[in-house]
Chains A and B, each alone.
Chain A
Amino acid sequence: EAQVTQNPRYLITVTGKKLTVTCSQNMNHEYMSWYRQDPGLGLRQIYYSMNVEVTDKGDVPEGYKVSRKEKRNFPLILESPSPNQTSLYFCASRGLAGVRTGELFFGEGSRLTVL
């Protein structure tokens, strides 16, 4: 089954304790991205990657890092989480070949609470 898998789905942590949210896709997609979803603000892009070792900032990259060492994985790293990073996070991927390249496939989300 084609899917984007995120872990953990739920996490409560404390300010300053480094954490990583993993994302993996099995569709051989080149493009992967991270979003955060906050009430009244919709989804906002944090980082995206066009392919292995190619990453770029989205609209709200502050406080986050990413890496793309393998095509299927795109982890989101919070080096020193703060309470304003409490949010629902989504990973998404899409293929870059062919006509229908605008279709993003989303994971089920990771709800993060920073105390």
Chain B
Amino acid sequence: GQQLNQSPQSMFIQEGEDVSMNCTSSSIFNTWLWYKQDPGEGPVLLIALYKAGELTSNGRLTAQFGITRKDSFLNISASIPSDVGIYFCAGQTLNGNQFYFGTGTSLTVIP
């Protein structure tokens, strides 16, 4: 299957700091999505990107669909303790049938 390289693997930051994480792929995707997973729960969609070059915000979160369609990044500004969790990128194949996920970025926010 296709591999999504997500980095960094983990981050420990102070409350109030900004966070940046990214995903790269060897293949082109039709859609990029960013999910957050809290312990014991399923992933929850944060942002969906549908067009190359698209920059989308959702509150303190901003994500971009790379112009090559092989990468995406997620920024979180002014982090707060409830941002703690694991963040996953996901790419949707061109035929729309399959989704591939990154290995996740574990975020810890220190108050």
Contact = CB atoms under 8 A, between A and B. Distances in A.
Interface of A: 4, 33, 35, 40-45, 48, 50, 56, 58-60, 90, 92, 96, 99-109
Contacts of A107: 42
B16 interface: no
Contacts, number: 67
A52 B35 CA distance: 27
Given A58-B98, A102-B31, A108 B104 contact: no
Contacts of A96: 96
Interface of B: 1, 4, 6, 30-31, 33, 35, 40-45, 48, 50, 88, 90, 92, 96-104
Contacts of A60: 1
Contact of A33 (B33, B40, B99): B99
